[in-house]
Amino acid sequence: MRKFKALIKLALIALVIILVFNHDAILKNMYPLQYEGYIITYSREYSVDPNLVAAVIKAESKFENKAVSHRGAYGLMQIMPDTADWIASQSGMGEITYDALYDPETNIKMGCWYLNNLSTEFEGDLDLMLAAYNGGRGNVQKWLKDDNYSKDGENLHAIPFKETKNYVEKVNKNYNMYKKIYDLK
């Protein structure tokens, strides 16, 4: 029995040592970063924190550029076709095909433009931006006017869509981790 306990202690010590020396590698595996060049380029062009862009991509597609949601959103940043058409017309990007949403550069460029647009609309309030990205800007505007969700018309104290509430929490967590691990500029 003593040998068994000693083996368990030794295994735990070895595990702690492995975790301590591989902490960064483990975190980078849990919070991967792909397409860094596009993220940096377009986050700068549209004045969006690149750590936020990476956090949104992780939440939306886990960096799978061919991802398609059950609602029909495409690519890394899971952009809906109607939203893509609107972004293309508003931003001057010109017409795009829905297949172009699978292209990492196009998708990240559109996603960064959209995050900047939401930042302007919601005066930089991250939670409102993320709620609008996931649940729709029109819904967020309605919630801000509803006493059940906003006491002051400027902040949400409750988000009625469970998916959107969870999304805001997930992206905020991802955002903090990407800042901690990579601190992209």
Question: Do 26 and 72 share a structural domain?
Answer: no
Q: Which residues of 22-46 are buried (b: 16+ CB within 10 A; e: fewer)?
A: eeeeeeeeebebbbeebbbbbbeeb
Question: Do 95 and 12 share a structural domain?
Answer: no
Using 50, 70 and 90 to split pLDDT, how confident is the model at 63? very high
Residues 6 or more apart in contact with residue 176 via CB below 8 angstroms = none
Question: Do 136 and 61 share a structural domain?
Answer: yes
Question: Do 107 and 18 share a structural domain?
Answer: no
Question: Do 46 and 93 share a structural domain?
Answer: yes
pLDDT on residue 78:
98
Question: Do 3 and 75 share a structural domain?
Answer: no
Question: Do 140 and 160 share a structural domain?
Answer: yes
55 or 10, which is more confident? Answer: 55
CA–CA separation, 102 vs 117, rounded Å?
Answer: 21
The model's pLDDT over 115-132, given as tens digits with 9 standing for 90+, comes to 999 999 999 999 999 999
The model's pLDDT over 78-90, given as tens digits with 9 standing for 90+, comes to 999 999 999 999 9
Q: How many domains does the chain have?
A: 2
Using 50, 70 and 90 to split pLDDT, how confident is the model at 7? confident
Question: Do 157 and 84 share a structural domain?
Answer: yes
For the packed helices 36-45 and 50-61, what is the interaxial angle rounded to 10 degrees?
120
CA dihedral (60, 171, 52, 149) positive or negative = positive
Count of CA atoms in the C-beta half-sphere (13 A) of 114:
27
Question: Do 135 and 113 share a structural domain?
Answer: yes
CA–CA separation, 127 vs 114, rounded Å?
Answer: 15
Which has the closest alpha carbon to 178: 71, 27, 3?
27
CA–CA separation, 126 vs 53, rounded Å?
Answer: 12
Question: Do 53 and 21 share a structural domain?
Answer: no
Exactly one of 60, 95, 123, 154 is catalytic; name it: 60
Range of the domain at 22: 1-30
Question: Do 94 and 64 share a structural domain?
Answer: yes
pLDDT on residue 17:
67
- 16 has a pLDDT exceeding 70: no
- Please report, as a single letter, which amino acid is at residue 86: W
Instruction: Find the CATH number of the domain harbouring 51.
Output: 1.10.530.10
Question: Do 94 and 49 share a structural domain?
Answer: yes
Q: Is 60 a catalytic residue?
A: yes
